[in-house]
């Protein structure tokens, strides 16, 4: 059963894009640098102007208030945004249940990280915390833009496994952008190459 559908989605001079992502499924997106992969995710998240429509379980994004749509269809950008001085200030939901604490621990953090200054975080730490910050809101669909680009091989494996479990147990769906076709072959059910005029299905390795 499909969870997310893109129907003639278009932005700038790109598109139209049509795509169905199954409940609990993961669709990978590849493509050359600058082709518009990140912008496609931003259009799905409804943070840039676009034509066409996105549907979540058959409900059009245009009928859902934008903040609610962006909670249900949440994007983790390649470079996370941090506005306040401390980590805790960026979490709208408290890190207090077992699931949230376990996510932090699996990604190499103790709860003490909430008191850290943003200025002390490495790029990889910001990337991992951005993922936790998004997952604790329990999105229906996760839009991932190179989510492991700044991580070492061991942590890449941890993130891939954690997201696979999340999809299995929470029926969360993903669109995963990566330049690494081997990674997409591991994590995705289908992989498409983003071209200016649409999507071309790739053969999994």
In this structure, is residue 8 part of a structural domain? yes
In this structure, is residue 98 part of a structural domain? no
In this structure, is residue 129 part of a structural domain? no
Q: What is the pLDDT of residue 98?
A: 63
In this structure, is residue 133 part of a structural domain? no
Report residue 158's pLDDT band, with 50, 70 and 90 as the boundaries.
Answer: very high
DSSP 43-68: HHTT-S--EEEEEETTEEGGGS-HHH
In this structure, is residue 43 part of a structural domain? yes
Report residue 95's pLDDT band, with 50, 70 and 90 as the boundaries.
Answer: low
Is the pLDDT higher at 25 or at 103?
Answer: 25
Pairing of strands 73-76, 141-145: parallel
Q: What is the pLDDT of residue 93?
A: 59
Q: Kindly report, residue by residue over 66-80, the tens digit of the pLDDT.
A: 999 999 999 999 888
The residue segments making up the domain with residue 13 are: 2-80+139-202
CATH number of the domain where residue 183 is located: 3.40.50.300
Note if the pTM is more than 0.85: yes
CA 154, CA 159: separation in Å to the nearest integer? 9
In this structure, is residue 102 part of a structural domain? no
In this structure, is residue 158 part of a structural domain? yes
In this structure, is residue 10 part of a structural domain? yes
Average pLDDT of 175-188?
A: 95
Q: Does residue 142 contact residue 174 with C-beta atoms inside 8 Å?
A: yes
The number of domains in the chain is: 1
Residues above pLDDT 90, as percent of the chain:
76
């Amino acid at each position: 059963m499909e969870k997310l559908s893109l129907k003639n989605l278009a932005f700038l001079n790109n598109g139209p894009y049509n795509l169905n992502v199954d409940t609990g499924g993961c669709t990978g997106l590849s493509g050359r640098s600058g082709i518009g992969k990140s912008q496609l995710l931003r259009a799905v998240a409804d943070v840039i102007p676009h034509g066409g429509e996105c549907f979540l379980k058959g409900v059009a994004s245009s009928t859902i208030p934008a903040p609610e749509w962006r909670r249900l269809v949440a994007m983790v950008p390649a470079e996370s945004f941090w506005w306040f001085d401390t980590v805790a200030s960026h979490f709208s939901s408290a890190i207090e249940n077992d699931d949230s604490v376990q996510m932090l621990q699996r990604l190499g953090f103790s709860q003490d990280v909430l008191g850290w200054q943003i200025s002390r975080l490495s790029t990889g730490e910001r990337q991992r915390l951005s993922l936790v910050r998004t997952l604790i809101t329990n999105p229906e669909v996760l839009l991932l833009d190179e989510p492991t680009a700044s991580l070492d091989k061991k942590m890449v494996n941890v993130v891939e496994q954690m997201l696979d479990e999340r999809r299995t147990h929470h029926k969360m769906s993903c669109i995963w952008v990566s330049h690494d076709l081997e990674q997409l072959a591991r994590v995705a059910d289908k992989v498409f190459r983003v071209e200016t005029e649409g999507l071309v299905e790739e053969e999994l390795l």
